[in-house]
Amino acid sequence: MRNRAVEILVLDDDSDTLEILSHMLSTDDKHVETTTSPIQAMDLLARKSFHILLLDLKMPDMNGIEVLQRIREKDRDLAVIVLTAYPSVETAVASLKGGVSDYVEKPIDKDKLLDAVRSVIRSKGLLRDPEESLLASVGAKIRVKRKNQELTLKQVARRTGLSVSLLSQIERAESAASVSSLYKIASALGSSLEELFEGY
């Protein structure tokens, strides 16, 4: 089943910047909306469910830190990536206090911005890449089966001959296991490869 798109809202007082950012970020699995108005952004956030907000810090009507504080009064979970052409210790500290996921300097480097967005997507569990999604699914199934049998990673490592570190990485979808490793894990848990890949 296809996952729904990651919803991104971009708030910046410069319309040219909005156009560039929208072009950079829009893909089949990322839907981007933009606005130059902090008030409109607050309204959109109240009415729609966004996963990520890209927030310019320096705007004429209301600065980004104030917008961030207002957002956090109602929503602690929204991922916020701060954009600024005027980085400072004060704004960095205020951003951290506001639970910002990342801090990207202007002029915006496309690769850095995309890395920041990908990092948020991974950390929030908004996996869109099919391979990442598969790894997460297999890792979660292994963890559930292990926990249901009240086995520790160390015990599974002893049964499979695999390292505790590798097993932990597989469960957290941080490492792609070989078919051989997955077979050993499935056997150790009294399961089958078919069960681990169920749904794919």
Q: All domains of the chain, ordered by start, with CATH? A: 6-123 (3.40.50.2300), 130-196 (1.10.260.40)
pTM of whole model > 0.75? Answer: no
pLDDT tens track for 68-111: 999 999 888 899 999 988 877 787 777 778 889 898 999 999 99
CB 38 within 8 A of CB 60: no
Nearest to 142 by CA among 171, 176, 163, 175: 171
pLDDT tens track for 14-47: 999 999 999 999 987 889 999 999 999 999 999 9
CB 45 within 8 A of CB 9: yes
